[in-house]
Amino acid sequence: MKLRNIAIIAHVDHGKTTLVDALLKQSGSVRDNQRVAERVMDSGDIEKERGITILAKATSVEWKDARINIVDTPGHADFGGEVERILNMVDGVIVLVDSAEGPMPQTKFVVGKALKVGLRPIVAINKIDRPDARADEVINEVFDLFAALDATDEQLDFPILYGSGRDGWMAASPEGPKDQGLAPLFDLVLDHVPAPKVGDGPFRMIGTILEANPFLGRIVTGRIESGTLKPNQQVKVLHHDGTVLETGRVSKILAFRGIERQPIEEAQAGDIVAIAGLSKGTVADTFCDPSLNEALPAQPIDPPTVTMSFIVNDSPLAGTEGDKVTSRVIRDRLLKEAEGSVALSIEESADKDSFYVSGRGELQLSVLIETMRREGFELAVSRPRVVMQKDENGQVLEPVEEVVIDVDEEHAGIVVQKMSERKAEMIELRPSGGDRQRLVFLAPTRGLIGYQSELLTDTRGTAVMNRLFNSYQPYKGELAGRTNGVLISNEQGEAVAYALWNLEDRGPMVIDPGVKVYQGMIIGIHSRDNDLEVNVLKGKKLTNIRAAGKDEAVKLTPPIRMTLERALSWIQDDELVEVTPKSIRLRKLYLDPNERKRFEKQKVAGAA
């Protein structure tokens, strides 16, 4: 059977996973009466809830006399590490571009990696039925993008299809015909994408996707570079520097057949398969015949740009809501995560009670925290900090991102003002259709932490922001921080509605009445720039004398709801977010007021 291996790459929300749904249905991989979820490839709980792809996943379809292995990839820049490593598994890419938005930052990032590896692209203009579609302009933008990324003449001569993944059709013209479904795309993949290059010699494969299975243990997915593989075959695992990690037998070989994985008796070179039975092999390791001693080259991965401290929860309420609270359990979970995610790095602190976790962005780290709290973990996390570097002259360099903001014309002024306050430099301003402007900035990563929610407030929810790591540049100087102080509880107990009502003049609350509080916990936002300790346990003084107006019901203003992402971006360096399976609390790093004062004095002395 002929083989083709392709990846679908695109910016977030341009329709990759929806297109994979249509490919599975029209190829007969899913029966007409079979019940499958919408966006069947997004299998994780958080993926389903947020409607985003986080992990790259493989599937396969049969078309005519060929099997096409398809890899669905994430669209968020934070999960770009997933995309970078799967590119060595495939021989061609379908670049999916929204007919109205055109190529966006993540498209540029992934296409650049794909062209560098030498993959030949197929460009599919999706969502052609949008009222603001501008297909011809988008094609020109894609061509300019490819040229700017140093594409070869062969890569620039890309075939183009137009269509709608949701409606399940693609054609050589924006008008159709629509009755052929996705057949033109399948045929183009068979004609345009080369068959997998197969090397000579015994079995060799590089690990690309790692997952844990409760029955089979560790499962590693990759493409077989040469030779064949059978169950119970002896296999050696080599680190990328050539050291032997382990030798063992393959207990099971799973091939992708539609949305299912089926055990097979023999895997051929060029096919994408998942193997089980080895306990140490991971992503970027080489799985090979015991006679081989040389590892396959792995694609280098861009370095992490943001780091956070994961700290053992030491608040008075520690251990009351979660069952995984010790540093050993947290350490094991983080190391397990770092094995499967090449874009994450974990470092243990000297006191062994905290861990520095570095990744590509706040979203990647907040998804990890959300996953851990759902598994029963309790921990405290610090504000995200950027990873600085130094050049050979000792000058401090910081990560700078390219930021693309699509916004209604009336709100463009406030966006430019806020971005300039965050040391951003505007490099492009142009109309993007329908009274909207596209603003492109180069901005330091630390200035963008927490800006998403502020942007939505400033633009009444109409702005769309996309970010992409650009380069390391000289440090841009200090940024203005948060302008408000916080209200801090000075006692432990349960918050009383009467006390909260009396404190409303001081600023908005972030907790409800009846919530458990402790000394040092943040219960509200102060209307001024200093922190204020308050008593939220003080109830109404009761007497046996009734008087008119005494028993009026207390009417409280609803508190500000702090989601995990909002809390992480809002806190300052001397504050933490306490994360448990049931609650997200804000607190001071030092709970005792005397310790806080000592810390402030040391900070002032250090600055002087």
| Residues annotated in a binding site | 13-18, 126-129
Separation between Cα atoms, residue 6 and residue 195, nearest integer Å:
10
The residues pairing with 516 across neighbouring beta strands, listed in sequence order, are 494
Separation between Cα atoms, residue 97 and residue 16, nearest integer Å:
9
User: Please, are residues 223 and 92 in contact by the beta-carbon 8 Å criterion?
Assistant: no
Helix/strand/coil for 413 = helix
Helix/strand/coil for 215 = coil
The pair of three-digit structure tokens given for residue 172, joined into one six-digit string: 């050589």
Helix locations, 232-386, DSSP H: 327-340, 362-374
Q: What is the DSSP string of 124-142?
A: EEE-TTSTT--HHHHHHHH
The residues pairing with 386 across neighbouring beta strands, listed in sequence order, are 306
Q: Of 581, 506, 550, nearest to 324 (Cα)?
A: 581
Separation between Cα atoms, residue 315 and residue 257, nearest integer Å:
49
Separation between Cα atoms, residue 262 and residue 252, nearest integer Å:
10
Q: Of 357, 338, 214, 349, nearest to 282 (Cα)?
A: 338
Q: What is the DSSP string of 506-531?
A: G--BSS-TT-EE-TTEEEEE-SSSS-
User: Please, are residues 526 and 532 in contact by the beta-carbon 8 Å criterion?
Assistant: yes
Helix locations, 256-392, DSSP H: 327-340, 362-374
Helix/strand/coil for 145 = helix
Q: Of 439, 437, 561, 585, nearest to 508 (Cα)?
A: 561
Strands 2-10, 66-72: pairing kind: parallel
Q: Which residue do the tokens 């200090």 mark?
A: 478
- For the chain, the helix, strand and coil percentages under 3-state DSSP, each to the nearest 5: 25, 30, 45
Q: Directed axis angle between helix 183-192 and helix 16-26, to 10°?
A: 100
Binding region for GTP: 13-18, 126-129
Hey, what amino acid is at 515? V
Q: Dihedral (C-alpha) 216, 220, 226, 227: value to the nearest 10 degrees?
A: -10
- For 504, which DSSP code? G
CA 389 to each of CA 304, 305, 394, 478, 496: distance values in angstroms, whole numbers, following the listed order: 11, 10, 9, 17, 48
User: Please, are residues 445 and 362 in contact by the beta-carbon 8 Å criterion?
Assistant: no
CB-based contacts of 130: which residues, under 8 Å, 6+ apart?
98, 99, 100
